[in-house]
Amino acid sequence: GLKSISLKRRGRVPRPPQGLAMLCEVRVPPDARYTAEVVVLLTTLGAKRTEYNAGKRAKDLLEIKRVHFKPVDFNRLAREGAPDAGDAENIAIQKLLGEGKLQTSGESGDVLLPQIFIDGQYIGGVGDLQDMEDDGKLDEVLERRDPNWKIDEILPGMMTIEQSLKEYAKYTGYDSDEDYDSADDEYGDEGINPT
Residue 144 CB contacts under 8 Å (≥ 6 apart), including other chains? 35, 36, 119, 151
pLDDT per position as a tens digit, 42-88 = 998 888 899 999 999 999 999 999 999 999 988 876 566 665 556 88
What does pLDDT average to over the chain? Answer: 78
Rounded CA separation 2/64 (Å): 34
Name which of 46-55, 108-117, 147-156, 160-169 the model is least confident about: 160-169
Model pLDDT, residue 110: 87
Q: Quick check: 17 pLDDT over 90?
A: no
Query: Angle at the Cα of 164 (from 144 to 83), degrees rounded to 5?
Result: 125
pLDDT over 70, % of the chain: 68
Residue 142 CB contacts under 8 Å (≥ 6 apart), including other chains? 33, 34, 35, 36, 38, 65, 67, 118
Rounded CA separation 33/18 (Å): 30
Contact indicator for 153, 44 with CB cutoff of 8 Å: no
Contact indicator for 151, 118 with CB cutoff of 8 Å: no
Q: Quick check: 179 pLDDT over 90?
A: no
Q: Quick check: 188 pLDDT over 70?
A: no
Name which of 6-15, 39-48, 144-153 the model is least confident about: 6-15
Residue 165 CB contacts under 8 Å (≥ 6 apart), including other chains? 26, 29, 30, 174, 176
